[in-house]
Amino acid sequence: MRFEGKTAIVTGAARGIGLEIARQLAAGGATVVLVDVLEDVLAQVAQTLMTGGAKVLTYKIDVTDEAAVEKLTDEVVEKTGRLDILINNAGITRDDLLLRMEVKMWDLVMAVNLKGTFLMTKHAARPMLRQRYGRIVNLASVSGLVGNPGQANYSASKAGVVGFTRTVARELAKRGITCNAVAPGFIKTDMTDVLPEKAKDMALAAIPMGRMGTAEEVARVVAFLASDEASYVTGHVLPVDGGMAP
């Protein structure tokens, strides 16, 4: 996929799936705006991408802070002249069984995963509407489609992303803006590396393909939905899960 002349924001871009998405877009020629709270890691990632010839900007912001999000989108348009692609990838987990889950764990996951997606989309949509062009791709999860014990907060937040995606797609479609979601299953990242071996074995048993996916496999699907090749695809939620979702 080619992205020359386009500007893309990727949240949660310092590692894992976000990093691979940034690499895919940069390889296609986009100016990539890396957003994360991990400032030191973000700087290293940016340096690596720029060494390969990519055009990169970095911002350390909290996606739950509306003032910071608005400033980010305004500055990106001021510096690059446009905003074409938004990838809402920033997300966290705070797992526990329902009866042990603290309200603060619920609120934090909802704030980052769902409120952050809302705020980034709200402010990125403004320049896209003026351009009459935009690609928004949200990272949902198979947990938001089928549920997962111990993840009531995470599953609910990602189910919210699914509903949000479909609504935004309907609202913005007539202005040349698409909005889709990708729902990864068990993907080998820093987040899954820390899981107990028993949990990993249970996860593998639930995957028809018998293996975890890779961040690159998810990123390729995201890149397609962010490209002009997907110009007539909107409001879609695409599992990338090795067959887990029914």
**Residues recognised as catalytic:** 154
Chain centre to alpha carbon of residue 179: 12
Distance CA 25, CA 13 (A): 12
CB proximity list for 73: less than 8 A, separation 6 or greater? 9, 83, 120, 123, 124, 126, 127
Q: β-pairing, 31-36 with 134-139?
A: unpaired
DSSP lists the bridge partners of residue 178 as: 135
Question: What Å distances lie between residue 32 and 13, 29, 148, 161, 201, CA to CA?
Answer: 10, 9, 33, 23, 36
For residue 48, the number of C-alpha atoms closer than 13 Å in the C-beta half-sphere is 14
Identify residue 227 by its one-letter amino acid code.
S
